[in-house]
Each structure stands twice: as structure tokens, then as C-alpha cells.
Structure 1
Amino acid sequence: MDVSLREVHDSDLPVFYRQMNDPVAGHMAAFTPEDPADRDAFDAHWTKMRASADVAVRTVLADGDVVGSAGVYGAPGEREVTYWIDRAYWGRGLATAALRGLLELEPQRPLYARAAADNAGSIRVLEKCGFRLSATERGYAPARGKEIDEVVLVLREA
């Protein structure tokens, strides 16, 4: 599949909202909004992200279809990557391709990433893109309703 990134369009938001409300994907991601079904909170979050100079967010396309989002946020020296790929596309290399594309757009290093410690797929994507484990922590995961282990990874070089 041809994977590309582009600016987020208003028409992408219903797709992102649907993806965030997939209970299997939410469980895997773990660190989701408290109530992913709260459309007003979702819209406010995306409005804030798209308006912020500290956030670079893109729509992920596969063969022209919207399949997710990828972004970088935070202050210099503390910037963190995030991505979400529709579960129907898991296991096809799209997250890796999207993250590689995002890393080409974001020259600042270091970059950080976080994942639930049991999210082997996301950890594998990050490692394929050069991120290395730097710490383990515990944090409250709203999608699971409890505190869980998470890993922090860092990418130090371009």
C-alpha cells in the first residue's frame, strides 16, 4: 500500500472519532481520553491541536484512504510522537511507514514515545523507526480503567 501523510482536513475528524471509539484499539492504546465517546471533548481537543504551534499533526493515507493520524507535540527537548492506525489496517506496516514519514517532517531530536508495556505492536513500530527503551513507568490508562505499566522510548538521532 502507498502510505502518505497530509494536513488534517475537517472531513477526517469523523474517521478519527470512529477509530478512537473502537474498544479493541482503545484497549491496546490504553492511554485514551477518559470518555472517547464525548464528541464535544473530541472536537475541542482536535481544534486545540490543529491551532497549536507546538503540534504537528497529519492524516495518514493508505492508497488515498484515511486510515489514521500521526503527530508530534510538546516543547523542544520534550517532543513526543503519537499515532493511531485503524485496526482494520494493523499488521500491514502502515504505522511504521507513517511514523517514518512523520520523522522526516520533524527534524528535532530527541523525540519521545510512550506505549503500554503490553502493546508489542506499537513498541515494535517504534523500535523499527530507531526508538530505544529509556524508562518504564506506571500510569493510569483510561481505556483499561486502571494503572498499568508503560514504556518510554527515545529517538536521539535523525
Structure 2
Amino acid sequence: MEITLRDVESADLDEFFRFQQDADAAHMAGFAPTNPKDRSIFDHHWGELLNDEKSLVRTIDVDGQAAGSIAVFRDGDTHEVMFWTDKRFWDKGVTTTAFDLFLEEFQKRPLRARVVVDNVGSLKILESRGFTEIGEEQVFSNARAEVVTEKLLELR
């Protein structure tokens, strides 16, 4: 299995939208748009992200197919990373390998991440790469229709 990162192609967006429809994955991530089936909201979000010169967005590619995405964006004065991998690639080392490749490419620090406290897989990846907890926040999760606790982590 060859795992690489590449620029996002227009066909990838169709896959990313499909990934977003997976209720289990959205629950694990803890976030989703108010209406995850609304393609116009999805396209608007991705258009802003891809056209933001301060963001770095990559497709996680596994053997020539889009398996997920990883991006860093500016949140005020800090950079924040987010990632999403299609459920069929969970527990295969895909996200971990992609995250390592991304950290090689994007080396600005500090780098922050937000993760729902029960998203054990994402927390494991971040903590094993040196991210440490710097706080917690209570946020409303559309995907769960309830308030959840998110850990705020930072890599220096």
C-alpha cells in the first residue's frame, strides 16, 4: 500500500463529500455542518479553504485513490491542523503515515489541533507526534446533537 500526499483535485471533492455522509465517521470526528447533505455548503467551505493562501491542503492518496484529507489553516495567530480519513482506511496506518508526511512538509510551529475527547485514534496520533494538551472546550457538535468536550493540543 503506497500512501502519499498530493494537491487536491476536483474529483477528490466528490470523495470528501461522500466521506462526510458517513454518520459513524462524523460522530467520531464530532463535527459536521448543520446539514451535511447540502453540497452547496460543502462546496463553499472547501472553496474557501482551497483559495486561502494561508492554508495548506492535501489529499491523502492510497494507491492512486483519495482516502482522506489533511489541512492546516490559520485561526487567528496560530496554525491549526485537521484531518479526515475514510472509514475503510481506519486501523491500517494510513492516517498516521499521512500525518507524518504532512508534518515533514509543514514545519511551522506552534501547530494546534482540536479533538473530541473520545476520538481515541486521533488523540493517539497527535500525542505520539508530540502534541500536548493545552486546554479543553465545550462545543456543540452538530454530528452528535449535543455539547461535547474537545481537547486543544499543541505541537511546539
- What's the TM-score bracket when you normalise by the shorter of the two chains? over 0.9
For 2:53, the equivalent position in structure 1 comes to 53
User: How do 1:12-31 and structure 2 match up within 5 A?
Assistant: 12-31=12-31
Q: Alignment identity in percent?
A: 38
Gaps of 5+ in 1: none
Give runs of ≥4 in structure 1 deviating > 4 Å: none
Residue 8 of structure 1 aligns to a residue in which SS?
Answer: coil
Partner of residue 108, structure 1: 108
What is the root-mean-square deviation in Å for CA atoms of aligned residues? 1.2
Residue 82 of structure 1: SS of its match in structure 2? strand
1:64 aligned residue: 64
What displacement does 1:136 show?
Answer: 1.4
Indicate how the Cα distance of structure 1 residues 152 and 67 shifts in structure 2: closer, same or farther if over 3 A, else same.
same
2: CA distance, partners of 1:14 / 1:75: 26
User: 1:19-61 deviations in whole A, cap 9, x for unaligned?
Assistant: 0110000000012211111100111111111111121100001
Equivalents in 1 of 2:51, 2:146: separation in Å?
Answer: 32
- The aligned amino acid for 2:44 is A
CA distance in 2 between partners of 1:130 and 1:58 (Å):
21
Does the 8 Å CA contact 1:115/1:151 hold for their aligned counterparts?
A: yes
TM-score, length basis structure 1 = 0.94
Q: Unpaired runs of 5+ in structure 2?
A: none
Cross-structure match for 1:148 = 148
In structure 2, the CA distance between the partners of 1:30 and 1:78, relative to structure 1 (3 Å rule), is same
**What's the offset of the Cα at 1:107?**
1.7
Provide closer, same or farther for how the CA distance between residues 23 and 75 of structure 1 changes in structure 2, counting only shifts above 3 A. Answer: closer
Write the deviation string for residues 77-113 of structure 1: whole angstroms up to 9, x where unpaired.
4110000000011011111111111111112100000
Q: CA deviation at 1:128?
A: 2.0
Letter in 2 for 1:68: G
